[in-house]
A and B are shown apart, each in its own frame.
Chain A
């Protein structure tokens, strides 16, 4: 079972520089726990006591997971999960 997880530059130190890793799980929480086994320390950058960290955005197939159940969002083989820092901007 493979779910592609795209890692932002700022967290690639946890994945040995890899910008994309694979993981498995039935929910986002499970997926993150699975990644933690191979990339120790990553989970703490993403999650705190109240759930997903405030300045971390996670997208499941380009949709913000906070609208899909957050850490309980179901994930499956073939999904793409993208992690990005929270920023806000404008157009050039």
Chain B
């Protein structure tokens, strides 16, 4: 396949069957490999669409500064696009994000502002919103509320899935900004009667929940509950276990949110198999495992990794 430039190669990622993990020949899992994007994660879609939309609206000029609260993948995607388009990139992220993410960001020329680990990504959002208010000339695309995030999936991920898997019965993905599920979910629900849109939400650790006043929680502005048909809370232990199963049984080296999504996808597939219903469950592999190696998630026994990582996987 040939493209004029790296950004043109965005999307159109492979959908690969998981015959060893699938519970039955008629209840199958299909992994959408989003690590096959320009910077290696699903966020490339959202980043490209958000920047393009901002350019169309005249919000960005050569030398503009982009500011974004991000745990890493969005920052990496935006930093790449910023580099190619001539913008300055500032990322606000929790101080406990993994070393690989910081390294990648710096390689792409991004500047990092660390927010406290306590409060996680939601604290990073607060810090970023304050910085945006203090610097009105900076542009915060704001992945948690920018419709171009979900639109990217409505226009690309959804159609790709339907084209590759016309018999799709379920779409399962991790829930973070909610962009992937909202955009892909909306598209699939418009075109496939009865399709199930299933969110796999990470069970975060104490640090992320700990400081929250229960009335000052955070629900991404993009989130529209009516697009989902179910939402599961997946523990770090289960996410890790499935991530390792993907590697051990299917040879697929995926990131931890993919393990969480596979956990929920397997539950859906088993339920269908038990009911004698066919199922074609597409599951989002948001990134590869590379950016998590330094967390120790893939080293030692599963029990050792679980003990080491409990409460540490998410930010």
Contact = CB atoms under 8 A, between A and B. Distances in A.
A92 B71 contact: yes
Contacts of A88: 121-122, 144, 175-178, 218-220, 223
Interface in A38-92: 45, 53-57, 59, 62-64, 66-67, 82, 84-92
B255 interface: yes
A10 B74 CA distance: 30
A8 interface: yes
Contacts of A86: 217-219
Contact of B228 (A54, A59, A67): A67
B314 A92 contact: yes
Interface stretch (B1-9, B163-171, B230-238): B230-238
Interface string B72-89: 111000000000000000
Contact of A54 (B96, B217, B255): B217
B184 interface: no
A9 interface: yes
Interface residues of B, number: 56
Determine the interface band of chain A, counting residues with CB < 8 A from chain B: 20 to 34
Q: Which 5 A-B pairs have the closest CB atoms?
A: A55-B217, A90-B71, A89-B121, A86-B217, A64-B231
16 contacts: A54-B217, A55-B218, A62-B233, A64-B231, A66-B225, A66-B231, A85-B214, A85-B217, A87-B122, A87-B218, A88-B177, A88-B178, A88-B219, A90-B71, A92-B96, A92-B101
Interface of B: 70-74, 94, 96-98, 101, 120-122, 144, 175-178, 199, 201-204, 206, 208-210, 212-220, 223, 225, 228-235, 255-257, 291-292, 295, 312-315
Given A10-B214, A92-B292, 19 more contacts: A9-B206, A10-B209, A55-B216, A55-B219, A62-B234, A63-B233, A82-B233, A84-B233, A85-B214, A86-B218, A88-B175, A89-B314, A90-B72, A91-B72, A91-B73, A91-B176, A91-B255, A91-B257, A92-B71
